[in-house]
């Protein structure tokens, strides 16, 4: 039997931007915590939502689908999504799935909050 890390996704605010700290695995078990984090993040009408993967572990195809869902909701609400903290492998996956075409992938939190890597296709 596999062991599962308990996912957590607390929300912080910096300069009008909501930062969701994604911890643990990004798979089906993360669905409830990501949903709660998204609702908390957008409740403050942020300029953008930053997904921090710095504390994330394993990401599978179900986790990719969860991120697609957040991206769709962001587009519908006119809220830009940005990301940082991806390992080179998961950055490659964001590129081949084209997630990187629709959300800016930044090297660190400061640039993600500033939106220094350019805006996404919202």
Given a contact cutoff of 8 angstroms between Cβ atoms, the answer to whether 109 and 12 are in contact is no
Environment class of residue 14 by beta-carbon count within 10 Å: exposed (0-12), middle (13-18) or buried (19+)?
middle
Given a contact cutoff of 8 angstroms between Cβ atoms, the answer to whether 82 and 115 are in contact is yes
Which of 8, 61, 77, 107 is the binder for other proteins (CB under 8 A)? 61
Distance of closest approach, residue 7 Cβ to other proteins, in angstroms: 12
Task: Return the SS3 of 103.
Answer: coil
Contact segment (CB under 8 A) with other proteins among 9-17, 33-41, 56-64, 109-117 equals 56-64
Task: Return the SS3 of 112.
Answer: helix
49 binds other proteins (CB under 8 A): no
Judged by beta carbon, residue 10 or residue 35, the one nearer other proteins is: 35
What residues make contact with other proteins under the rule CB under 8 A?
Answer: 1-4, 27-29, 58, 60-62, 64-66, 68-69, 71-72, 75, 88-89, 93, 96-99, 101-102
């Amino acid at each position: 039997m596999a062991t599962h890390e308990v996912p957590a996704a607390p929300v912080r605010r910096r300069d009008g931007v909501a930062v969701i700290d994604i911890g643990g695995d990004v798979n089906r078990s993360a669905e409830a915590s990501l949903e709660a984090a998204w609702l908390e993040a957008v409740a403050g009408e942020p300029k953008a939502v930053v997904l921090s993967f710095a504390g994330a572990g394993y990401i599978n195809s179900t986790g990719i689908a969860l991120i697609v869902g957040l991206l769709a909701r962001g587009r519908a609400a006119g809220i830009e999504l940005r990301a940082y903290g991806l390992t080179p492998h998961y950055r490659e996956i964001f590129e081949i799935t084209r997630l990187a075409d629709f959300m800016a992938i930044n090297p660190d939190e400061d640039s993600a909050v500033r939106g220094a890597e350019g805006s996404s296709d919202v």
